């Protein structure tokens, strides 16, 4: 057996010790150390990134979920932040939900991950504070996220677990302020559309932005939209959510 084969057998048992035999030349005592070390590290990383999601599970069900991730998903990076992103991707694209999983699992996991992502993402050094909307290219800050969910993810806890989507979406902006603290503000459909167009068209000017929004909600005149957009963008600029270059 080649060294690579030995490594693969070693890792296969660490990942799934109940179904894959350990290498014959490694003692059970040594394997136990590795099994606990690797699994506990991954479980710790995921638990730190998704504390609310974890709080909704009993310990056996949570460990089963993490073990499923550990067995079935090939992480490309050992770093804590990357593992949290890979866990989210696993839930979104590979995992089959079980009866023990809350129905809002994917949205809550995304909401928790965004907070972590915003807290550590690099600032665009070219972006600067917006003080005047006139004739300025407008950008959604790379440390801000425009979000919407079908469930009230900001309220979910052990004591509040909705069983069906809300009648209307919940809109949020998550951003990092000048003190590098993550902030959350409740948004609304109009602001979400405005920021969505801003995100899709970086560097757009105010008149063009209003025109694009008008195409989506033509029941409002461009004059009405201009007034609302100006007020909203100025408020978001003060928070560093809307910036220029």
9 plus 57 within the same structural domain: yes
Q: Say if 109 falls within a structural domain.
A: no
pLDDT bucket at 96, cuts 50 / 70 / 90: very high
Q: Say if 114 falls within a structural domain.
A: no
Tell me the percentage of the chain whose pLDDT exceeds 70: 94
What pLDDT is recorded for position 79?
73
127 plus 221 within the same structural domain: yes
DSSP state of 117: H
What are the φ and ψ backbone dihedral angles of 180, each rounded to 5 degrees?
A: 65, 25
What are the φ and ψ backbone dihedral angles of 141, each rounded to 5 degrees?
A: -55, 145
What is the distance between the alpha carbons of residues 176 and 94, in angstroms, rounded to a whole number? 31
Q: Say if 173 falls within a structural domain.
A: yes
pTM for this model (two decimals)? 0.88
Task: Count CB-CB contacts under 10 A for residue 29.
Answer: 7
Number of structural domains the chain divides into: 2
Cα 96–Cα 149–Cα 89 angle in degrees, nearest 5: 40
CA torsion sign for 101, 46, 183, 193 is negative
* Residue scoring higher pLDDT (79 or 157): 157
Beta strands in the chain (DSSP E): 128-129, 139-140, 144-149, 170-176, 182-186, 242-244
**175-213 per-position pLDDT tens digit:** 999 899 999 999 999 999 999 999 999 999 999 999 999
């Amino acid at each position: 057996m080649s060294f690579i084969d030995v490594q693969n057998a070693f890792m296969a048992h660490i990942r799934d010790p109940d179904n894959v035999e350990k290498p014959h030349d490694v003692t059970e005592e040594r394997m136990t150390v590795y099994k606990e070390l690797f699994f506990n590290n991954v479980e710790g990383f995921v638990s730190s990134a998704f504390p609310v999601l974890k709080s909704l599970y009993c310990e056996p069900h949570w460990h089963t979920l993490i073990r499923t991730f550990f067995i079935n998903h090939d992480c490309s990076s050992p770093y804590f932040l990357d593992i949290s992103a890979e866990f989210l991707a696993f839930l979104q694209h590979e995992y089959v939900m079980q009866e023990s999983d809350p129905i809002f699992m994917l949205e809550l996991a995304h909401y928790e991950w965004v907070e972590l992502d915003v807290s550590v993402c690099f600032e665009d050094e070219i972006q600067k504070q917006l003080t005047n909307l006139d004739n300025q290219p407008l950008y959604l800050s790379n440390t801000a996220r425009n979000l919407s969910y079908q469930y009230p993810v900001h309220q979910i806890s052990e004591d509040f677990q909705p069983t069906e989507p809300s009648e209307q979406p919940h809109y949020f902006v998550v951003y990092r302020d000048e003190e590098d603290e993550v902030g959350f503000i409740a948004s609304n459909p109009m602001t979400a559309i405005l920021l969505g167009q801003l995100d899709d068209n970086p560097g757009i000017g105010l008149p063009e932005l209003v025109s694009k929004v008008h195409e989506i909600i033509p029941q409002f005149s461009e004059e009405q939209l201009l007034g609302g957009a100006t007020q909203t963008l100025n408020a978001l600029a003060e928070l560093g959510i809307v910036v220029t270059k």
